[in-house]
Structure 1
């Protein structure tokens, strides 16, 4: 059973900063060049929290994680950030274009009580230790979630969507355009709306669309904090994490991605293909040099089937 909860969110104070200059993309897609650009945009850009710079003189006491904690405290003290006075759920919306078509994705942000995999939350990929170590250091220093993971649920009845649509009919609390995507945020403080969302979500299985490393990091942080506070009751902040929830509907766009596999010891393509053939129909294609567009054409012909292209 899924347990979600409203929370007192911390947001930028629009009277103190230009919102357009303090936002940043997800930390794991920020290049060194973009990091530098974001630093120059504003001394309060969130990149300083989610992906601070590293320096040759860094130490155990002075590093990107400690600096992030310092910035966080400073910005709270200076009123750059402000904390909601009441528990809320937040409507989050993106306007984006895909293949020349305008689309709108709308979901909500709330707290999710952390559970081990298989107890309401399902994963679809394995994780690596290094990214989890990185995010855990940030959480231990800052004791905060600076971004949310992305979970999917299925509710064909669209009760929650109706609540979100109603609350999104007013002027958004925040609106910003970044990389051709318009982001909007609204606050839901109505108790009846919050209760209905919480109740409707309880029996729903959740699927991680993006955020496996951060979810497992949150579990590790929870366990770390429980060891420090052996008298924990289960309702402490470290038992929850901030999550974006989206209904599985036509507003979502699922795109293929490319995976590059390298440095496999004793790689034998024939053995691998033999194992693949146990589960898939395999068609070998001989391609002239620099004719990779032929693969694209063939995939288009099979658009109603689930097809993977493998190149070696």
Structure 2
């Protein structure tokens, strides 16, 4: 059973920090790209690289404590569950996503309360764990999804969101409206509705696992009870049905090694797939479409389709569910695995995720990559099915856009 609770959120004090919107940034792995937040921009404590090398985490902790001391950020006087409306443009069209920001009780993956859809890697998980230990706060919320087919939670959020305390624009072109709901009756109603649902991780797999490790450390070294702050993680929860829940694909670059020359990749693709010359600029929607491969100019660009009988499934593990087997990203990893004759960990050293299609194409044209695999966006239904079947996609297989913003609400584990 999912358990969400109110928290005394730590938020920017506008009288000291100024307008809040420009101070926000995406989570750690993207935050470093946003350099316009000024002295009090959240990236100064959230970004992985703060320019201090091995001292990044200690620097983040010192800055966080200084901000608290100088009233740049302050804890709300009462526990609240926060309703967040995020307005942004999608291909020039205004879109809005509504979510709940709250503490979510940590549950091991095996409990099937919160379900992942991607594998994680050691580096980002360890980096976030060190930051969590140093700062003792969740600086950015995870992004979780739940099903709300009848709109019960949507309607309750709309009723609460009548008098927002914040309505501001960020440096990413979005606008944020935030309402702090401090009435216990609202907390209980939202919690009871969410408790009936499974939660799915959209973004934040590494941070969730770091929080699990930190929780267990606290259990072993402190007097921690069931409601200790370390038993929870900060999250933004949105309904799968919300039109503002957008998932984009991450494409794949293949680099390095004598085994993965463009010619070897082409031979492998012809062996296992049906290749057709690409003649459109966007990936078509087709149940048999795996993706598109961009090779050096002499070899061209090809759309990749499953052959009759889907022989490429021989490249994939036999113990996976139908949703996992149906996705282009898993087919491509299996195919590249065959080129390298290697396991997934070794293949990962030569397969790099990239979000922007144009960047992937440029890397091939410039000779920095042997090939780029451009993948169609997976549907939300398919991603949830992967999670429910207990399978995991390769790391960084999806890009939920926009991410839940860091700095809007912070969960201090000392409160």
TM over 0.5: yes
Aligned counterpart, 1:141: 134
Q: How far apart in 1 are the matches of 2:71 and 2:144?
A: 31
Q: How far apart in 2 are the matches of 1:133 and 1:141?
A: 12
Aligned counterpart, 2:11: 11
Conserved in 1, the CA contact under 8 Å of 2:31 and 2:46? no
RMSD: 2.4
Conserved in 1, the CA contact under 8 Å of 2:21 and 2:176? no
Conserved in 2, the CA contact under 8 Å of 1:175 and 1:185? no
- Partner of residue 44 from structure 1, selected from 40, 45, 50: 40
State the SS of the aligned residue for 1:79: coil
1:213-246, Cα deviation, whole Å (9 max, x unpaired): 11111111112222212x4322211110001100
Conserved in 2, the CA contact under 8 Å of 1:6 and 1:111? yes
- Partner of residue 114 from structure 2, selected from 108, 121, 131: 121
**Number of corresponding residues:** 287
The reply on whether 1:307 has 2:289 as its aligned counterpart is yes
- Partner of residue 284 from structure 1, selected from 268, 271, 275: 275
Against the structure 1 CA distance between its residues 140 and 269, is the aligned structure 2 distance closer, same or farther, given a 3 Å change threshold? same
Runs of 4 or more, structure 1, over 3 Å off, are: 261-275, 304-307
Conserved in 1, the CA contact under 8 Å of 2:22 and 2:170? no
Q: How far apart in 2 are the matches of 1:123 and 1:209?
A: 8
Q: Which runs of 5+ in 2 are unaligned?
A: 294-370, 372-415
Aligned counterpart, 2:332: none
Conserved in 2, the CA contact under 8 Å of 1:173 and 1:187? no
Aligned counterpart, 1:203: 196
The reply on whether 1:296 has 2:281 as its aligned counterpart is yes
Against the structure 1 CA distance between its residues 233 and 16, is the aligned structure 2 distance closer, same or farther, given a 3 Å change threshold? same
Against the structure 1 CA distance between its residues 228 and 261, is the aligned structure 2 distance closer, same or farther, given a 3 Å change threshold? farther
1:111-162, Cα deviation, whole Å (9 max, x unpaired): 1111111421111111111111111111111110000010100011222111
Aligned counterpart, 1:107: 99
State the SS of the aligned residue for 1:255: strand
State the SS of the aligned residue for 2:24: coil
1:271: Cα distance to partner?
9.3
Against the structure 1 CA distance between its residues 243 and 20, is the aligned structure 2 distance closer, same or farther, given a 3 Å change threshold? closer
Q: TM-score, normalised by structure 1?
A: 0.83
Q: Which runs of 5+ in 1 are unaligned?
A: none
Q: How far apart in 1 are the matches of 2:141 and 2:94?
A: 24
Conserved in 2, the CA contact under 8 Å of 1:20 and 1:176? yes
1:252-304, Cα deviation, whole Å (9 max, x unpaired): 223333122445795575896599x6xxxx4212x4xxxx6x2535x33xx26
Conserved in 2, the CA contact under 8 Å of 1:174 and 1:186? no
State the SS of the aligned residue for 1:283: strand
The reply on whether 1:177 has 2:170 as its aligned counterpart is yes
Against the structure 1 CA distance between its residues 250 and 92, is the aligned structure 2 distance closer, same or farther, given a 3 Å change threshold? closer
Conserved in 2, the CA contact under 8 Å of 1:12 and 1:80? yes
- Partner of residue 54 from structure 1, selected from 37, 43, 51: 51
Against the structure 1 CA distance between its residues 43 and 130, is the aligned structure 2 distance closer, same or farther, given a 3 Å change threshold? same
